[in-house]
Amino acid sequence: MKISVLCDVKPLLGEGPIWDVERQRLWFIDSLGRRIFRCTEQGGEMAAWTVPSPIGSMALRRAGGAIVALQDGFHALDFDSGELRHIVDPEPDRPGNRLNDGKVDGAGRFLCGSMDMGETDPTGTLWRLDPDLSLHRLEDNIICSNGPCFSPDWHTLYFADSFTGKIRAYDYDPETGNPSNSRTFAALPDDRGGAPDGATVDSEGYVWSACVFDGRIHRFAPDGSIDRVIEMPVCKITSLAFGGPQLDTLFVTSMAEPPLPRHPGDGPLRGATFRIDGLGVTGLPEPRFAG
């Protein structure tokens, strides 16, 4: 196994890596720096886009461009022109919230949760944006939505409210996009004060979770037991995704500056995006939003 720096553009809050199978490019975001980045698997040909407010996540679209989850709701982004088209603001009555992490399911729906920007109050909601652009509320009373991802057969949804320290599993109906039977899937070790952040599922059905403020990546077996632990060069890792031509490279984002002063700092590699090679594991292609 080899951990190396892919690129170091110093995002304030690096997040949301997505491997674009069609273009063979990695996308990731700077949530608080309001930027979207795209590069090759070696970190070259870097391109960037700026958005007008904090961005929690994005989903590539089958029709081109992306759906971006900004502080004031969901927007459609045209990469060629840079034009944004507002779709819907799910929480206009909650100015202390913003949209955060999200993923697309097998039918092309975008699941995205919100968070309390003060990271203290359970004012967040897990939302589902359907291809017809209708919006559906799935769960409430969340402090910080993170790590939505799906089992290879799309019948299990994994999701974390980070500050509970636990990843939850739900039965997921791929026909309707509705979750049920919420239960604890895994609890992250709390010996370093970390919390479950971004997550992905590999082709064997194992869940990979970035433990922010902890600096460790955990691979969980389908029964919730810890299968593997990887120590990263920085503490504030945020999210991860498999990519590369064979989907066997793990890309890991991190933050340069913690959003709240109570969180620890990192060394000179803070904010870097890393790649991990030689894991002997492959990921799954990321679906595109169908709308």
> Amino acid identity, residue 133?
L
Residue 106 in tokens: 């097998």
Instruction: Judge whether 140 is annotated as a binding position.
Output: no
Q: How far from each other are the two terminal CA atoms of the chain, in whole angstroms?
A: 38
Active-site annotation holds for 197: yes
Is 275 annotated in a binding site? The answer is: no
Q: Tell me: is residue 171 an annotated ligand-binding position.
A: no
155 touches 171 (CB < 8 A): yes
What is the spatial distance between Cα 75 and Cα 68, in angstroms, rounded to a whole number? 5
Q: Residue 15 annotated as binding?
A: yes
φ, ψ (nearest 5 deg) of residue 251: -95, 135
Q: Is 146 annotated as a binding residue?
A: yes
Q: How far does Cα 261 stand from its chain's mean position? A: 23
SS3 state of residue 164? helix
Calpha distance 288→236 (Å, rounded): 28
- Name the active-site residue from 101, 105, 116, 197: 197
Residues of each annotated binding site: 15, 98, 100, 146, 197
Binding residues for substrate: 98, 100
Q: Which residues are catalytic?
A: 197
